[in-house]
Structure 1
Amino acid sequence: MTIDALEAAGLTRMDDSNIAAFLSNQRVGVLGLPTENGPYMVPLSFGYDGDRLLYFTFIGGSASRKQQLTEAAADAAVLVYKVESMFHWESVLLQGGIKAVPESEWDDLADVLDTAWRPELFEDAIEDGDIAVYRFRIDEKEGLRHAGLPPGFEQE
């Protein structure tokens, strides 16, 4: 079934302002990095600049597979989604470029990076160092949402 066909069932496409508002209110998603055997998927906590950039932090140093793949990737994808029920959900798929942020710029990004959600255990690891900060540039974006009523509950 195509997205056009699903629109008849209440699916709607999000415009740029809806996507920006959604990203501003979310803090976690999934990063897809290219490999020879298909995408390598990584759970991700991010900060959003309100425009075209996501920022995130990796802990673990250059020996981590996710960091090695990120360093090698020119392009990546990020999926951010929120599900409240079968009939009420939103998702945004982002495509774009990814690059390491030099440590000299980290202080300038503190406000954006501080909005990223992190488990408490990551906070301790960040204090120990061995982290890297990345910038994801949004080149393409698509947002979908469904906020319909379950079958049989339509208003007349």
Structure 2
Amino acid sequence: MTINELKRYGLEEMREEEIETFLETQSFGVLGLPGKRAPYLVPLSYAFGGNSSLYFTYVLGEESKKEQLTDSADRARYLIYNAETMFNWESVLLEGTFKTVPPSEWADIADELEGVWRPEIFKTAGTSRNVKIFEFEIVDSSGIKHTQFPSEHK
């Protein structure tokens, strides 16, 4: 079914302001990078840099497929979602481009990066490994939500 067909069951498209609020209140999603055989999907936390960008911090090993695919990607997609119940959920799909943030500019985005949720293992590993920050410049966004019980459950 299409989004328009699902609207009669309570599905709603999110307005731009709702998408921005959602991005401000969430902290992780799934990054989809173009791959040779299929998309390369990576769960990844983010920092929201306002309505036009996200920041991703990569903790890199000697060879990082994620870094290689990010460096070569013309565009990528990032899906953020929150499903509290089967009747109360939201999701936002972003499309964008990448730009490496040089270490000399990290202080400029320190406020955005402070307090970003990430698994403890990556916080610990980040102090002893190579770290790279990417800015994901949002070129397109869409969001949908369902926040009500269907009529038969009311």
Q: Which residue of 2 aligns with 1:88?
A: 88
2:9/2:150 contact within 8 Å kept: no
Which segments of 5 or more consecutive residues in structure 2 lack a partner in the other structure? none
TM-score by length of 2: 0.95
Structure 2 counterpart of 1:23, one-letter code: L
Q: Which residue of 2 aligns with 1:14?
A: 14
Partner Cα distance (2:15, 2:115) in 1: 23
Q: Deviations over 1:1-31 (max 9, x none)?
A: 1110100000000010000000000000000
SS in 2 for 1:63: coil
Q: Which residue of 1 aligns with 2:38?
A: 38
| Paired residue total | 154
SS in 1 for 2:132: strand
SS in 1 for 2:5: helix
Partner Cα distance (1:62, 1:3) in 2: 43
| Cα shift at 1:151 | 4.6
SS in 2 for 1:37: coil
Matched, 1:29 2:29: yes
Structure 2 counterpart of 1:137, one-letter code: E
Structure 2 counterpart of 1:103, one-letter code: P
Q: Deviations over 1:51-83 (max 9, x none)?
A: 210001011245111111111112110000000
Greater mean alpha carbon deviation, residues 61-70 or residues 127-136: 61-70
| Cα shift at 1:150 | 3.9
1:27/1:115 contact within 8 Å kept: no
2:15/2:143 contact within 8 Å kept: yes
| Cα shift at 1:135 | 0.4
Identity of aligned residues (%): 45
Q: Which residue of 2 aligns with 1:56?
A: 56
Structure 2 counterpart of 1:83, one-letter code: A
Q: Which residue of 2 aligns with 1:69?
A: 69
Moved over 4 A (4+): none
Once the two structures are superposed, the pairs formed by residues 112-127 of structure 1 within 5 Å of their partners are 112-127=112-127
1:61/1:130 contact within 8 Å kept: yes
